[in-house]
């Protein structure tokens, strides 16, 4: 499947700064849209229905799995999360660049369906720093932090299956790296042929 839009998939262990980086990237690049996932977990803090997630209960989620509504879904930290077909298919067919912020299991499922998807893994600079960030964030109890740190070691081991790796030691540097990946993807031959069709035609390129 070769669609005119690009699909960027960003994964990282919790506390790495993935959401802040993706948010900053979207603010800088109006051609990127983020896909809103479905989840069975309840809203946290200021989260709003349809903005961070589409919040649904487990029976409804299971129904959607059975209907084949999801491109991918996974259980993460005891809750179910999924990317619906509706969230991305029409958009990339229409030439939009879509960002998915999902866990590594979902990312690898997406790569099977869309081999052209660009998989980006964000790493923390060290486990010590990750631990400090989770404490600073102040969202999780010590028990939850312990579970997240244990999961982080397993998640980090998946980075080798991704196309790109960004180390979030310094926010601005990591953001620059993300922008570079998006930019490079848009310079690929197939993309340039679509976007610079007049130049290509003038140069008799197919």
| Helix or strand run (H / E) with residue 88 | helix 85-93
Q: Does 37 bind ligand 5GP (CB under 6 A)?
A: yes
With CA atoms as reference, report the closest residue to 181 among 1, 7, 2: 7
Where helices occur in the chain by DSSP H, the ranges are: 18-28, 58-67, 85-93, 104-113, 127-137, 142-156, 171-186, 189-195, 197-202
Q: Select from 73-81, 120-128, 130-138, 157-165 the region that touches ligand 5GP (CB under 6 A).
A: 73-81
With CA atoms as reference, report the closest residue to 85 among 104, 113, 107: 113
Given 34, 41, 140, 149, the residue binding ligand 5GP (CB under 6 A): 41
Q: Select from 70-78, 141-149, 157-165, 187-195 the region that touches ligand 5GP (CB under 6 A).
A: 70-78
Given 5, 15, 17, 106, the residue binding ligand 5GP (CB under 6 A): 106
Given 16, 101, 124, 148, the residue binding ligand 5GP (CB under 6 A): 101
Q: Does 103 bind ligand 5GP (CB under 6 A)?
A: yes
**Dist CA 53 CA 42 (whole Å):** 10
The site for ligand 5GP (CB under 6 A) is made up of 14, 37, 41, 72, 74, 76-77, 81-83, 101-103, 105-106
């Amino acid at each position: 499947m070769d669609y005119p839009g690009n699909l960027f998939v960003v994964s990282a262990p919790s506390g790495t700064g993935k959401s802040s980086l993706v948010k900053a990237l979207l603010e800088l690049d109006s051609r990127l849209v983020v896909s809103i996932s479905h989840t069975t977990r309840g809203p946290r803090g200021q989260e709003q229905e349809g903005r961070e997630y589409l919040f649904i209960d487990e029976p409804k989620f299971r129904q959607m799995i059975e209907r084949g509504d999801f491109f991918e879904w996974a259980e993460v930290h005891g809750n179910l999360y999924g990317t619906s077909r509706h969230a991305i298919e029409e958009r990339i067919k229409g030439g939009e660049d879509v960002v998915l912020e999902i866990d590594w299991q979902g990312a690898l499922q997406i790569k099977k369906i869309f081999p052209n998807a660009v998989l980006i893994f964000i790493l923390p600079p060290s486990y010590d720093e990750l631990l400090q960030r989770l404490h600073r964030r102040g969202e999780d109890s010590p028990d939850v932090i312990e579970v997240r740190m244990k999961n982080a070691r397993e998640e980090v081991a998946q980075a080798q299956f991704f196309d790109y790796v960004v180390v979030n030691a310094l926010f601005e540097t990591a953001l620059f790296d993300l922008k570079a990946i998006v930019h490079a993807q848009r310079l690929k031959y197939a993309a340039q042929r679509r976007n610079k069709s007049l130049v290509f035609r003038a140069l008799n390129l197919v």
